[in-house]
């Protein structure tokens, strides 16, 4: 796995140590999935406090997209874990099919809107300008008439 140091790669490359490595990776991914619900509430709780708390959080985090960032991490680590498990099984002589791409596609389909929102926040060139938003608002109003 990519998060291992070169020294640990040799330590955990043995069949005896692989179950522990797999367990810790699944536990880490599971914690992220379990805590994902709460990342959406950070802003809500911080905004209910003093104004300075909100300002400090914004300066500290440098990001308003924690929830979407977590989704990408869960998706990427999930894909890596499935691919790793496939490689381990193949290395042990177990017939298996790599389902990492199926997982990625299903994940993208399920969380499409949130993943696109994170993409728009990260890639400023895709953000609508103030001018284009005003024009779009004017078009909506003229269509209603």
Domain ranges of the chain: 6-144
105: which 2 tokens? 């596609």
How high does pLDDT run on average in the chain? 76
The pTM assigned to this predicted structure is: 0.58
Alpha helices per DSSP H over 48-125: 51-61, 66-91, 100-110, 112-122
**8-13-15-21 Cα dihedral, nearest 10 degrees:** 50
pLDDT tens per residue, range 11-35: 777 778 888 888 888 998 888 888 8
Q: What is the mean pLDDT of residues 104-124?
A: 72
Cα–Cα distance, 85 to 92 (Å, whole number): 11
């Amino acid at each position: 796995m990519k998060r291992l140091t070169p020294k640990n790669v040799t330590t955990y490359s043995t069949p005896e140590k692989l179950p522990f490595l797999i367990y810790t990776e699944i536990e880490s991914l599971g914690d992220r999935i379990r805590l994902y619900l709460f990342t959406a509430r950070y802003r809500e709780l911080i905004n209910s406090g003093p104004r300075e708390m909100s300002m400090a959080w914004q300066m500290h985090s440098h990001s308003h997209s924690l929830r979407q960032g977590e989704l990408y991490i869960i998706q990427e680590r999930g894909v890596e874990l499935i691919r790793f498990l496939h490689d381990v099984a193949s290395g042990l002589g177990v017939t298996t099919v790599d389902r990492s791409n199926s997982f990625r596609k299903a994940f993208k389909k399920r969380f499409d809107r949130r993943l696109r929102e994170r993409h728009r926040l990260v890639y400023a060139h895709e953000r609508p300008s103030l001018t284009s938003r005003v024009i779009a608002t004017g078009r909506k109003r003229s269509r209603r008439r």
